[in-house]
Chain A
Amino acid sequence: MSLINYASREINCKLVYYGPGLGGKTTNLEYIYEKVAPASKGKMISLATETERTLFFDFLPVDLGTIRGFKTRFHLYTVPGQVYYNASRKLILKGVDGVVFVGDSQLDRMEANIESMQNLYDNMAQHGLDLTRIPFVVQYNKRDLPNAAPLGQLQEALNPGWPVEDPARQRALVDPNRPGEMLVQELDGGWVERVPYFEAVALRGDGVFDTLRAISKLVLKTIG
């Protein structure tokens, strides 16, 4: 839930990186932390286990600067990916403004991806939030690995599209990041919508900022 603080002239928005364990959520944040100008970032906090697996969350505040008199800041969070940390995952989603799903492209992680996506829908629903109605993008990480699944297969499993019921939104929408591909289109007599997706190799930073740029713009559109 974005907070517009007229007293301190601040706007804060919460972005959550979600996905299966060891998929690269923390790596995304670490890369952002490394590359963003020092004046624009706050302290990065990692509540991790001794083996550096995320136990509760990672947190990184990023300042966008002052826009129309308001200091605008994104709070970036990751959740622990391991299945048994669901209680922590659910807590972090409280008040979320935008979600990035970091999928692991490796073929043998397909099941873990699907399970995590289902878990995301369920946890959002428990907060009374509909994932199809909030800013949401998907990142397919580890595209450089030899056992990476083809994009089409990942899209079919994780971003197959949902029916668009609202007549006002039943109009063709081109994916601005992928010329020739559609975000909203008519298929077999019905309208379907997919979310924007990005390929990434988070370890070397490929696709990390494309993803962050897309989700932050989507979130700001909801308050402007």
Chain B
Amino acid sequence: MTGASSWSFREEDATRIGALLNSLLREANARTALLVDRTGQMLATAGEEPQFDPVAFASLTAADFSANDQLARMLGENEFGALFHQGDKDSLYLADVARRVILVVLFDNRTTLGLVKLRVRGVVEALSALFTAMFARESAGEVRMETGFVGEAEDEIDKLFGS
């Protein structure tokens, strides 16, 4: 067993992921694509700027996916690899990426669920390969912030939370 670990998301990761998400949006005619880490943190967004609070959205997405994972296990399934939430105007399609990340596609009636599903499948494969490589890189060495970070952060904590 271990203590908590950290991982990092680099500029070049963001560029490659951004390109994949933007091509997905074009091909699926969807509005916004978001990548959320399974612990509830937003990693990347592409397409139309979301009109909701992205931090809260990420937290709820991770909880939604985790709860459904447990439901899947109760049915004897390994997982539900994808989820669909249908609204009157806007809908969400969520897909697992490498068991660590969730791809969320927000779309409206300018496209169809079938097309979104079809395009997501291809992108999930490419994203999975990318994230698997990223996680392998992280496990090779611990992620640390530069010297001086902790001192400054402690000052901010004292200011914000009272000393």
Contact = CB atoms under 8 A, between A and B. Distances in A.
Contacts of A209: 161-162
A148 interface: no
A11 to B, nearest CB: 7
A105 interface: no
B37 interface: yes
B72 interface: no
Interface string B1-41: 11111111111011100000000000000000000011111
B144 A217 contact: no
B128 to A, nearest CB: 18
B160 A224 contact: no
Interface in A119-177: 125, 128-130, 133-135
Contacts of A47: 63
B114 interface: no
A134 B4 contact: yes
A71 to B, nearest CB: 11
Contact of B6 (A73, A91, A217, A222): A222
A87 interface: yes
B55 interface: yes
A134 B38 contact: no
B40 A37 contact: no
B136 interface: no
B39 A94 contact: yes
A77 B40 CA distance: 11
A11 B38 CA distance: 16
Interface stretch (B85-93, B104-112, B149-157): B149-157
Given A42-B53, A75-B59, A7 B9 contact: yes
Nearest to B60: A45
Contacts of A91: 63, 66-67, 70
Contact of A12 (B13, B41, B44, B163): B41
Interface residues of A, number: 59
Given A8-B14, A134-B3, A213 B158 contact: yes
A159 to B, nearest CB: 18
Contacts of B133: none
Contacts of B143: 4, 223
A75 B41 contact: yes
Nearest to B3: A133
B145 A43 contact: no
Contacts of A45: 56, 59-60
Nearest to A127: B1
B49 interface: no
Given A95-B37, A133-B2, A7 B44 contact: yes
B160 A94 contact: no
Contacts of A213: 157-158, 161-163
Contacts of B146: 68
Contacts of A11: 145
B119 to A, nearest CB: 23
Interface of B: 1-11, 13-15, 37-41, 43-44, 53, 55-56, 59-60, 62-63, 66-67, 70, 143-150, 152-154, 156-158, 160-163
Interface of A: 1-8, 11-12, 14, 36-37, 40, 42-43, 45, 47, 56-57, 59, 61-62, 64-65, 67-68, 70, 72-73, 75, 77, 87-88, 91-92, 94-98, 125, 128-130, 133-135, 209, 212-213, 216-217, 219-224
| 4 pairs of A and B residues whose beta carbons are closest in the complex | A95-B39, A7-B14, A224-B150, A133-B3
